[in-house]
Amino acid sequence: MVKMSDVAKLANVSTATVSRVLRSPETVKENTRQKVLSVIEELNYQPNILARHFRRSETNTILVIVPNIMNTVFAEIVGGIEQAAAANGYKVLLRNTNLDVRNEYEAIDHLKQRQVDGMILLSERLEKKTLLEISKQYPVVLASAYIEGLKVPTVSIDNISSSREATEHLIRLGHKRIANICGPLFSSISRDRLKGFKQAVYQNDLEVDSVLIQEGEFTFDSGYNQMLKFLALEVPPTAVFAANDEMAMGAIKAAKENGLKVPEDMAVVGFDNIKFSSMFEPALTTIAQPKYEMGKKAMELLLEQMQGVVHTKIQHVLDTNLVIRDSCGAKKAELV
Amino acid sequence: MVKMSDVAKLANVSTATVSRVLRSPETVKENTRQKVLSVIEELNYQPNILARHFRRSETNTILVIVPNIMNTVFAEIVGGIEQAAAANGYKVLLRNTNLDVRNEYEAIDHLKQRQVDGMILLSERLEKKTLLEISKQYPVVLASAYIEGLKVPTVSIDNISSSREATEHLIRLGHKRIANICGPLFSSISRDRLKGFKQAVYQNDLEVDSVLIQEGEFTFDSGYNQMLKFLALEVPPTAVFAANDEMAMGAIKAAKENGLKVPEDMAVVGFDNIKFSSMFEPALTTIAQPKYEMGKKAMELLLEQMQGVVHTKIQHVLDTNLVIRDSCGAKKAELV
DNA sequence: ATGAAAGCGCTAACAG
DNA sequence: CTGTTAGCGCTTTCAT
């Protein structure tokens, strides 16, 4: 393995100069620089990055902790992170926790051991205390996930308002008995989406029937099963707001299987605007959240932190919008 | 930052012993080990992993090059890789190339610079020559992708046979005029799936009409558009084999929009068995490929390579199976 | 603008 | 079983 001293020798300079050519070329005289560069070429020299990492104790690598990379929402966020990272010369270490908190705690050691320069967390399961302590010592950004009252830069959407908007859309369409399939309530995202749903219901003086709120697991099957419960009610709802698209799809399947037409007999609105929501039939009306941009923004914030910027603005809330397709009945309503 | 020498001093041993406690505890006397461990705890010592990486010139990190992490097929494979990596104490560096070959060439530098101990490639766009040279010097495994005649350990499926099976299934159901929406033909995967389709058609003495083969881009829209072409034919096909599920979904949408019933008027079979293929309506008949296992297997092979094993078996072909759902008409056929 | 030289923290060969 | 010691290859301070 050819090393810096080999280059130095052949170019008749010191290793310091070679190092300068690599890291701050402007401080080296044009002549010398050319000479060194040509020797580097000639010897096909590759700097030993590990030595550099060690010496500088920085790695140009960031850690991304994701609950489940097989979930399209997370995959898109990671896509955005990776793009912004690569554009800025950073590498991405991916840790998939499979929702096991122990994996998260383990992953944090990478930070402590300086194996990474910073971390983006897409999960919200770490203890607030731990996370706060970590974030005081290392650059950390939360994306999508957020933890109440935690002073860590966070990129997210307004889950409450978005859900309220989704629900109000159903109300505007004339629905009076609206059900909600919420996400697992250990998640603050789920709790917020539920909160938004309730706000819409209360503010519009609709009946509040607790049986119309059922907790799913953000999966197709759970959406399917919760919808079956609704359909079994003496007075079933006429519309359902599901806290993510997958559950919305499951709910629609259940409705159809029970002879209901969607949206005519049962209107459904989802959340996330995953790619398949437009392919589904009926195409899903849903809240579009900017997944890729969220990742990009999170990475940008992390970069700033790593450059020493101290963020005073903690919450970065990105815009969502209601995408009206076929599952809610709005389009058909217009035609009437 | 507390370092090894601090621990050594306080424990009244040498740094060598501390190092041994960390890396090969069995070579240290029980007593000494306990003493050292307690000091480590006391000082809250975190080894400087960068120093270790440097010194040992290995990183316990592998590089995964993926064309597009937002594609669920790749996301699942990456999930499998990550799981096997983590289980063996390895970290995963993720590089998303967005189908830009330059990014792949760049990524390879990580190997040359020893920033990673090995690489799993899910893409097939590097020049064969380059890849061969790389694989001679560094542990490399190809997953899903494969490059003809390249002596690099590869985990894949038999795309030819699987496609033949999918097509034969349609033939068995009585279809005589079967179309194929193939993938982009720069990809060997696409070419193989096309090959399998053709084999089935030829072997069953069906008509071979070149207009019945159209190239898509593995996207919903391209499936939709190619199906429109088929429907515009004087004699449209009665069945379509699409080289992936997304295109199959697009094709079905086009058929439905043109008043055809799927599968009654138009049978469709896809490929991949992505999660959404079972949620789609009609649920997709498709070839299931073991995406997660493929990633896992690839990582296992890579681990072996990194431990010095030289693989004589180059091609590792995992099993696929035809998942019969509703889009092909087989279930309804049975009922008759 | 360049060179000399120290040293980052760890590992492993060698000696005892 | 444990200690001594020599680096790994780079960056950076200090001098010139």
Omega within 30 of 0 (cis) for the link into B153: no
CA A330 to chain centre: 29
Q: What percent of chain A has pLDDT over 90?
A: 85
Residue of A nearest to B110 (CA): A49
- The per-residue b/e assignment along A44-66, b for 16 or more CB within 10 angstroms, e otherwise, is ebebbbbbbbbeeeebbbbbbbb
Residue A220's SS3 state is: helix
Q: Are residues A167 and A282 in the same domain?
A: yes
pLDDT number for residue A147: 87
pLDDT number for residue B336: 53
Question: Pairing between strand B321-323 and B285-288?
Answer: antiparallel
* Domain assignment present for A40: yes
CA distance A262 to chain B (A): 13
Rounded to 5 degrees, φ, ψ at A285 are: -80, 135
B48 shares contact with chain A (CB less than 8 Å): yes
Q: Which nucleotide's C1' sits nearest to the alpha carbon of B20?
A: C11
- Taking 90 as the threshold, does the pLDDT of residue B149 lie above it? no
- List the one residue out of B145, B190, B64 whose CA is nearest residue A69: B64
A219 shares contact with chain B (CB less than 8 Å): no
A297 shares contact with chain B (CB less than 8 Å): no
pLDDT number for residue B8: 93
pLDDT tens column, A209-233: 899 999 999 999 999 999 999 999 9
Enclosing H/E stretch for B33: helix B30-43
Cα angle A304, A307, A315; round to 5: 25
Please report which confidence band the pLDDT of residue A64 belongs to, taking 50, 70 and 90 as the band edges: very high
B253 shares contact with chain A (CB less than 8 Å): yes
Among B46, B220, B279, the residue with its CB nearest the CB of A113 is B46
Sort out which chain A residues have CB atoms less than 8 A from B112's CB and list them.
46
Distance CA B232, CA B235 (A): 8
pLDDT tens column, A263-319: 999 999 999 999 999 999 999 999 999 999 999 999 999 999 999 888 889 999 999
Please report which confidence band the pLDDT of residue A236 belongs to, taking 50, 70 and 90 as the band edges: very high
* Domain assignment present for B133: yes
Say how many Å lie between the first and final Cα of chain B, rounded: 76
Calculate the angstrom distance between C1' of D14 and CA of A24. Answer: 18
| pLDDT, mean over chain B | 94
Please report which confidence band the pLDDT of residue A335 belongs to, taking 50, 70 and 90 as the band edges: low
pLDDT number for residue A333: 63
Residue B29's SS3 state is: coil
- DSSP output for B110-152: HHHTTSSSEEEE----S-HHHHHHHHHHS-EEEES---TT--S
Taking an 8 Å cut-off on Cβ atoms, the answer to whether B95 and A98 are in contact is no
Q: Are residues B25 and B174 in the same domain?
A: no
Q: Are residues A193 and A265 in the same domain?
A: yes
Enclosing H/E stretch for A65: strand A61-66
Q: Are residues A106 and A83 in the same domain?
A: yes
Taking an 8 Å cut-off on Cβ atoms, the answer to whether B83 and A98 are in contact is yes
For residue A255, the domain's CATH number is 3.40.50.2300
* Domain assignment present for B54: no
Q: Are B330 and B269 in contact (CB under 8 A)?
A: no
Q: Domain limits at A331?
A: 159-289+322-335
Q: Considering just the CA atoms, what is the radius of gyration of chain B in Å?
A: 26
Q: Are residues B164 and B267 in the same domain?
A: yes
Q: Which nucleotide's C1' sits nearest to the alpha carbon of B56?
A: C11
Give whole-number Cα distances, B320 to A54, A193, B161, in Å.
46, 40, 9
pLDDT number for residue B335: 57
- Taking 90 as the threshold, does the pLDDT of residue B120 lie above it? yes
Residue B168's SS3 state is: helix
Q: Identify the residue whose tokens are 């849903």.
A: A286
Q: Are residues A69 and A8 in the same domain?
A: no
B112 shares contact with chain A (CB less than 8 Å): yes
pLDDT tens column, B53-103: 999 999 999 999 999 999 999 999 999 999 999 999 999 999 999 878 888
- Taking 70 as the threshold, does the pLDDT of residue B178 lie above it? yes
For residue A19, the domain's CATH number is 1.10.260.40
Residue A95's SS3 state is: strand
Q: Are A9 and A18 in contact (CB under 8 A)?
A: no
Q: Are B28 and B86 in contact (CB under 8 A)?
A: no
* Domain assignment present for A53: no
A78 shares contact with chain B (CB less than 8 Å): yes
Protein-strand D interface by C-beta, 7 A: A 1, 3-5, 15-16, 18-20, 22-23, 47-48, 51-52, 54-56; B 12-17, 20, 27-29, 31-33, 54-55
Among B54, B72, B96, the residue with its CB nearest the CB of A51 is B54
* Domain assignment present for A52: no
Which tokens is A30 given? 């044009």
pLDDT number for residue A208: 81
Taking an 8 Å cut-off on Cβ atoms, the answer to whether A92 and B94 are in contact is yes
Q: Are residues B229 and B248 in the same domain?
A: yes
Q: Are residues A92 and A210 in the same domain?
A: no
List all residues 6 or more positions away from B46 whose beta carbon is below 8 Å from its beta carbon: A109, A112, A113, B1, B2
Taking an 8 Å cut-off on Cβ atoms, the answer to whether A57 and B50 are in contact is yes
pLDDT number for residue A334: 63
Quick one: angle between helices B4-11 and B30-43, nearest 10? 120
* Domain assignment present for B53: no
Give me the amino acid identity at B127. E
Sort out which chain B residues have CB atoms less than 8 A from A64's CB and list them.
94
Q: Which nucleotide's C1' sits nearest to the alpha carbon of B55?
A: D8
- Taking 60 as the threshold, does the pLDDT of residue A336 lie above it? no
Q: Are residues A148 and A166 in the same domain?
A: no
Q: What percent of chain B has pLDDT over 90?
A: 84
Q: Are residues A164 and A140 in the same domain?
A: no
Q: Are A213 and A274 in contact (CB under 8 A)?
A: no
* Structural domains counted in chain B: 3
Question: Pairing between strand B315-318 and B154-157?
Answer: parallel
Q: What is the mean pLDDT of residues A156-182?
A: 97
Q: Are residues A169 and A275 in the same domain?
A: yes
Calculate the angstrom distance between C1' of C12 and CA of B56. Answer: 10
Taking an 8 Å cut-off on Cβ atoms, the answer to whether B54 and A59 are in contact is no
Chain B (169-208) residues lying within 8 Å, Cβ to Cβ, of chain A? none
Q: Are B100 and B67 in contact (CB under 8 A)?
A: no
List all residues 6 or more positions away from A187 whose beta carbon is below 8 Å from its beta carbon: A124
| pLDDT, mean over chain A | 94
Q: Are A276 and B250 in contact (CB under 8 A)?
A: no
How many residues make up chain A in this entry?
Answer: 336
Among B69, B93, B250, the residue with its CB nearest the CB of A75 is B69
Give me the amino acid identity at A105. Y
Give whole-number Cα distances, A68 to A220, A297, B12, in Å.
16, 20, 45
* Domain assignment present for A250: yes
A44 shares contact with chain B (CB less than 8 Å): no
Q: Identify the residue whose tokens are 């399998």.
A: B196
- Taking 80 as the threshold, does the pLDDT of residue B320 lie above it? yes
B15 shares contact with chain A (CB less than 8 Å): no
Q: What is the largest CA-CA distance in chain B?
A: 90
List all residues 6 or more positions away from B99 whose beta carbon is below 8 Å from its beta carbon: B67, B68, B123, B125
Residue of B nearest to A56 (CA): B50
Q: Are A78 and A295 in contact (CB under 8 A)?
A: yes
Residue of B nearest to A46 (CA): B113
* Domain assignment present for B180: yes
Q: Are B260 and B268 in contact (CB under 8 A)?
A: no
- Residue B42's Cβ-side half-sphere holds a number of Cα atoms within 13 Å equal to 13
Please report which confidence band the pLDDT of residue A146 belongs to, taking 50, 70 and 90 as the band edges: confident
Which tokens is B135 given? 């694989």
* Ramachandran area for residue A321 (φ above 0: left; ψ -120 to 50: alpha; else beta): beta
Distance CA A328, CA A17 (A): 67
Q: What is the mean pLDDT of residues A168-187?
A: 96
- List the one residue out of B272, B246, B271, B217 whose CA is nearest residue B76: B272
pLDDT number for residue B334: 64
Is the Cα torsion angle A41, A45, A51, A53 positive or negative in sign?
positive
Q: Are residues B148 and B32 in the same domain?
A: no
